[in-house]
Structure 1
Amino acid sequence: MADPADIAQVRAFNRFYTRIIGLLDEGMHKTMHSLSEARVIYELSKDGVTTGAQIAATLGMDRGQLSRLMAKLVDQGLIANLPRSADGRSTPVGLTPEGRAVAARLNAMSDAAAAETLLDPLDPFERRDLVGSMRRITALLGEPEASTLVLRAPRIGEIGWLIHRQALLYHLEQGWNGEFETLITRIYSEYEAAPGTPAKQIWVAELEGEVAGSVFVLPATDGEEGTAQLRMLYVEPMFRGRGVGGRLVAEAVTFARISGYKRIMLWTQDCLVSARSIYQKAGFVLAKEERHQSFGADLNGQYWVLEL
Structure 2
Amino acid sequence: MNTDRVAAVRAFNRLYTGVIGVLDEGPADAEYSLPEARVLFELAQEDPLAVTDLRKRLDLDAGYASRLLARLESRGLVSRERSDEDARRQLVRPTQAGRDAFALLNRRSTDRIGGLLSRFDEEGQQRLLAAMRTIGDVVGDRKRDPALVLRPPRPGDLGWVVQRHGALYAREYGFDVRFEGLVAGIVADFAARDDSGQAFWIAELDGERVGSIACARAQGADTAKLRLLLLEPSARGHGVGKRLVTECVEFARAHGYRTMELSTVSILDAARTLYRAAGFALAGEKDFDDWGPKLTEETWRLEF
Taking structure 2 as the reference length, what is the TM-score of the superposition? 0.57
What root-mean-square deviation, in Å, do the aligned CA atoms of Structure 1 and Structure 2 show?
Answer: 3.7
8 Å CA contact retained: 2:82, 2:91: no
How many angstroms does 1:291 deviate by? 1.1
1:209–1:186 distance in 2 versus 1, CA, 3 Å: same
1:11–1:261 distance in 2 versus 1, CA, 3 Å: farther
Taking the aligned partners of 2:164 and 2:155, their CA distance within structure 1 comes to 16
Query: What amino acid sits opposite 2:194 in the alignment?
Result: P
8 Å CA contact retained: 2:82, 2:90: no
- Say yes or no: does 1:186 pair with 2:182: no
8 Å CA contact retained: 2:152, 2:201: yes
Taking the aligned partners of 2:233 and 2:291, their CA distance within structure 1 comes to 21
- The aligned residue for residue 267 of structure 1 is 263
- The aligned residue for residue 205 of structure 1 is 203
Is the radius of gyration larger for structure 1 or structure 2? Answer: 1
Query: What amino acid sits opposite 2:259 in the alignment?
Result: R
Secondary structure, in 3 states, of the residue corresponding to 1:168? helix
Query: What amino acid sits opposite 1:290 in the alignment?
Result: K
Identity value in percent: 37
Q: Structure 2, unaligned stretches of length 5 or more?
A: 1-24, 40-60, 69-80, 93-139
- Say yes or no: does 1:215 pair with 2:213: yes
1:67-126 deviations in Å (ceiling 9; x for gaps): xxxxxxxxxxxxxxxxxxxxxxxxxxxxxxxxxxxxxxxxxxx89x69x989xxx97845
Taking the aligned partners of 1:226 and 1:13, their CA distance within structure 2 comes to 58
1:227–1:144 distance in 2 versus 1, CA, 3 Å: farther
Q: 1:229 aligns with which of 221, 225, 228?
A: 225
- The aligned residue for residue 146 of structure 2 is 147
Taking the aligned partners of 2:294 and 2:91, their CA distance within structure 1 comes to 39
Taking the aligned partners of 1:276 and 1:288, their CA distance within structure 2 comes to 14
8 Å CA contact retained: 2:210, 2:232: yes
Secondary structure, in 3 states, of the residue corresponding to 2:145? coil
- The aligned residue for residue 89 of structure 2 is 128
Taking the aligned partners of 1:278 and 1:194, their CA distance within structure 2 comes to 28
Q: 2:295 aligns with which of 264, 276, 299?
A: 299
How many angstroms does 1:127 deviate by? 3.5
What are the equivalent positions in structure 2 for 1:1-308 lying under 5 Å apart?
A: 11=32, 14-15=35-36, 125=86, 127-129=88-90, 145-197=144-196, 199-221=197-219, 224-308=220-304
How many angstroms does 1:11 deviate by? 4.3
- The aligned residue for residue 45 of structure 2 is none
Task: Count matched residues.
Answer: 200
How many angstroms does 1:14 deviate by? 2.0
Query: What amino acid sits opposite 1:129 in the alignment?
Result: Q
1:289–1:15 distance in 2 versus 1, CA, 3 Å: closer
- The aligned residue for residue 117 of structure 2 is none
Secondary structure, in 3 states, of the residue corresponding to 1:300? strand
How many angstroms does 1:160 deviate by? 0.8
How many angstroms does 1:219 deviate by? 0.2
Taking the aligned partners of 2:187 and 2:236, their CA distance within structure 1 comes to 23
1:154–1:300 distance in 2 versus 1, CA, 3 Å: same
- The aligned residue for residue 8 of structure 2 is none
Taking the aligned partners of 1:298 and 1:241, their CA distance within structure 2 comes to 28
1:306–1:16 distance in 2 versus 1, CA, 3 Å: closer
How many angstroms does 1:143 deviate by? 5.0
Taking the aligned partners of 2:298 and 2:36, their CA distance within structure 1 comes to 49
1:299–1:193 distance in 2 versus 1, CA, 3 Å: same
Taking structure 1 as the reference length, what is the TM-score of the superposition? 0.57
How many angstroms does 1:209 deviate by? 1.7
1:290–1:212 distance in 2 versus 1, CA, 3 Å: same
1:209–1:143 distance in 2 versus 1, CA, 3 Å: farther
How many angstroms does 1:194 deviate by? 2.1
Query: What amino acid sits opposite 1:202 in the alignment?
Result: F
